[in-house]
């Protein structure tokens, strides 16, 4: 195959990859599916060990590569190009594969059961488009006990790290194995820790003694969280928010305490607020409540607590 023919085929492959990327984005908007690549920077902040161990050169399944160290805004989750600016380099990389010259191994970072591209984003993108199933890579691994699977999106990954950190700090899962605290949005455990710390201070003032953290955790769960969540569950309030959990609604009520007080009147605590909202549900004003929740939150999302993702670097090679 001559150079002209290879370049033409490489261009055709790129245009097909761009077409698939556009279709993927349209489908994502219609279904709510998350097609964003996972930024390694956000994952690395959660890791307890910040030094990676070199594992050597391995053949890595492409479907386990879910993110990038720097180019996470330039490609989809499946490494489809999001900009025509990638065309020339992408075509050069593809031409190397098509004329049997091959590529040098890419550089990957491994966390649990997924990989992030440190060097070689264009090669992974081209390999996906050309139908490869594996790619040769130098692998550096960060040991981690949190289980991350290729199908997990960024929110799910951050939730798992947040849960691990919360349980290790509080020991709640050892005290109450059936606690049932599950979130659908990242960052919510921060609010729970703040509530526990606040309660610990109040108990110390009331009892005029130092209150151990473990005691404050148990008191928070039994006196604040559990009664409120039980009301949420018994009242069927969650029917208004498909896909959300009782813990989601608990944190939302805590974060939106002031606007809800202005809308529905005074209440002493979150359990009273839950009873108030449950009464609104029984009165048939659920539609109005749902609209207000969505207006307060912005569409059907919960208020973000995570920091903004840093702007990507453009210094990596193909």
93-143 tens-digit pLDDT: 998 887 777 799 999 999 999 999 999 999 999 999 999 999 999 999 999
Question: Which residue is it, tokens 């404050």?
Answer: 216
Answer whether residue 234 is part of any domain: yes
Same domain, 197 and 258: yes
Same domain, 120 and 231: no
- Domains: count for the chain: 2
Give dist(CA 55, CA 104) in Å, integer: 17
For residue 217, pLDDT over 60 is answered with: yes
Same domain, 163 and 289: yes
Which residue segment(s) compose the domain that 207 sits in? Answer: 154-297
For residue 179, pLDDT over 90 is answered with: yes
* Mean pLDDT to the nearest integer, 59-69: 96
**pLDDT band at 164; cut points 50, 70, 90:** very high
Backbone angles phi, psi at 268, to 5 degrees: -85, -35
Same domain, 97 and 211: no
Determine contact, residues 36/72, Cβ cutoff 8 Å: yes
- CA distances from residue 168 to 20, 112, 163, 314, 317 in whole angstroms, order as listed: 42, 19, 8, 37, 39
For residue 233, pLDDT over 90 is answered with: no
Give dist(CA 118, CA 120) in Å, integer: 7
For residue 313, pLDDT over 70 is answered with: no
Q: For the chain, what's the residue count?
A: 318
Question: Which residue is it, tokens 């399944």?
Answer: 61
Strand 65-68 and strand 114-119: pairing? Answer: parallel
Higher pLDDT, residue 239 or 205:
205
Q: Determine the pLDDT at residue 285.
A: 53
Same domain, 180 and 85: no
Answer whether residue 245 is part of any domain: yes
Give dist(CA 201, CA 268) in Å, integer: 18
Determine contact, residues 12/94, Cβ cutoff 8 Å: no
């Amino acid at each position: 195959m001559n150079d002209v023919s290879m370049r033409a085929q490489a261009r055709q492959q790129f245009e097909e990859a761009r077409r698939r990327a556009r279709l993927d984005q349209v489908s994502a908007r219609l279904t709510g599916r998350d097609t964003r690549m996972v930024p390694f920077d956000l994952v690395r902040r959660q890791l307890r060990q910040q030094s990676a161990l070199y594992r050597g050169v391995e053949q890595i399944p492409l479907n386990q590569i879910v993110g990038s160290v720097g180019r996470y805004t330039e490609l989809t989750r499946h490494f489809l190009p999001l900009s025509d600016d990638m065309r020339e380099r992408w075509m050069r990389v593809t031409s190397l594969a098509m004329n049997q010259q091959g590529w040098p191994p890419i550089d990957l970072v491994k966390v649990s059961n997924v990989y992030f591209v440190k060097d070689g984003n264009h090669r992974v993108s081209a390999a996906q488009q050309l139908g490869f199933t594996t790619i040769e890579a130098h692998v550096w691994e960060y040991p981690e006990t949190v289980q991350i699977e290729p199908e997990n999106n960024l929110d799910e990954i951050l939730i798992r790290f947040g849960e691990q950190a919360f349980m290790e700090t509080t020991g709640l899962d050892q005290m109450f194995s059936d606690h049932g605290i599950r979130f659908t949005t990242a960052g919510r455990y921060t609010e729970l820790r703040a509530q526990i710390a606040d309660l610990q201070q109040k108990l110390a003032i009331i009892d005029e003694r130092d209150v151990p953290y473990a005691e404050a955790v148990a008191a928070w769960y039994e006196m604040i969280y559990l009664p409120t969540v039980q009301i949420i569950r018994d009242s069927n309030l969650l029917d208004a928010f498909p896909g959300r959990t009782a813990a989601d609604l608990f944190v939302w009520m805590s974060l939106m305490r002031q606007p809800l007080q202005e809308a529905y009147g005074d209440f002493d605590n979150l359990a009273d607020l839950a009873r108030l909202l449950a009464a609104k549900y029984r009165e048939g004003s659920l539609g109005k409540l749902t609209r207000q929740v969505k207006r307060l939150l912005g569409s059907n999302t919960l208020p973000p607590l995570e920091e903004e993702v840093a702007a990507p670097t453009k210094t990596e090679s193909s």
